[in-house]
Amino acid sequence: MSEELVRVERVSREFGHGRRVVRAVREVSFTAARGELVAIRGRSGAGKTTLLNLIGGLDRPSAGRVWVAGEEVSAASEQRLLELRRHTIGFVFQSFGLVPILSAAENVSVPMRLVKLPAAQREQRVAMLLELVGLGGHAAHRPYELSGGQQQRVAIARALANEPELLIADEPTGQLDSETGRSIMELLRAVVRDRRVTALVATHDPALLDLADRVLTLRDGQLVDPVPTATGAGGGG
C-alpha cells in the first residue's frame, strides 16, 4: 500500500460575508500518495487555484483540515508554513515567476540561498537540476532569452531546488502551446516517477490528463465523480 503524503479532509473556503459570500471550495476530501501525479481539472473559477493554495499553505481553509507529509498545514503557524514552503513544498505557476535580471542558474539557486546551502553544493545542485530539465546549456541565459517552455523548465528546476516532497503546479502549461505544454507535463511525469515526488497539477487541458495517475474533477468548488485516465497508470510505465 502506497504511503500517503497529502490528506485533504472536508476542506471549504469561503470569501465575503452574508449574501455576498462566495464558496470557492466546498467540503473537498481526497488523499495523494508519495510518488503520485494527481491532475485536478475544472473550468476557470471551479476552485482549482484556491484548493492548491490551501494545500500549499498560501491560504487557510474556512473549514476542514489539510496534512502534508504528516504535518497539519491548516493549523501551522506562519513561521512553520514558511519552513514547509522552503523545504517540503515546491510551487510552479502559470506565469513562470522568474526574476528577470537573474540568469537561469541564479533563478534556480534562489531557494538554496534562502536556506543557506554552501556555495559549492549549491552550484553542483543547480547544474544537476538544469540538466534534469534539459537546459544544461542555458545556465547563463536570462528569462527574456528563453522560450516560454524553457522558462517553465527553469521554474520547475527552481521548485525542485530544496528537494521538496510535494510539487504543486497551478496551470503550468496555461501559457504554452499544446506541444510545449505536453512536454512540460511529461517532464513533471518523469520527475514524479524518478524522484518519488508527489505532484498536484491543476489543468484545464484534457489532452494532458492521460499523463496523470489520477484525475480529480472540480465543479463549482466541489469534487465530482473521479475520471479514469486513458492508461490507468499515468503513462509512466
pLDDT, tens digit, for every residue of 54-82? 999 999 999 999 999 999 999 999 999 99
pLDDT per residue as tens digits for the range 175-204: 888 888 889 999 999 999 888 899 999 988
Q: At what angle do helices 119-132 and 148-159 cross, to 10 degrees?
A: 130
pLDDT digits 0-9 by tens, 107-157:
999 999 998 999 999 999 999 999 999 999 999 999 999 999 999 999 999
As a whole number of angstroms, the distance between CA 108 and CA 160 comes to 9
% residues pLDDT > 90 (the chain): 69
Q: Report the top-level CATH class of 35-60+77-227.
A: alpha beta
Map out the domains of the chain as residue ranges: 35-60+77-227
pLDDT at residue number 152: 92
pLDDT at 96: 86
Instruction: Please state the length of the chain.
Output: 237
Query: Is residue 102 scored above 60 in pLDDT?
Result: yes
State yes or no: pLDDT of 27 exceeds 90. yes
Helices (H), 90-199: 104-114, 119-132, 148-159, 178-195
Residues 6+ away with beta carbon under 8 Å from 157: 104, 108, 126, 129, 130, 132, 133, 135
User: What's residue 237's pLDDT?
Assistant: 34
Phi/psi at 59 (nearest 5 deg)? Answer: -150, 165
Question: How far, in Å, CA of 208 to CA of 173, rounded?
Answer: 9
Would you place residue 44 in the very low, low, confident or very high pLDDT band (cuts 50, 70, 90)?
A: confident
pLDDT reported for residue 226: 54
- How far the first Cα of the chain sits from its last, in Å, is 18
Retrieve residue 69's grid coordinates: 507529509
Q: Looking at residue 34, what is its pLDDT?
A: 93
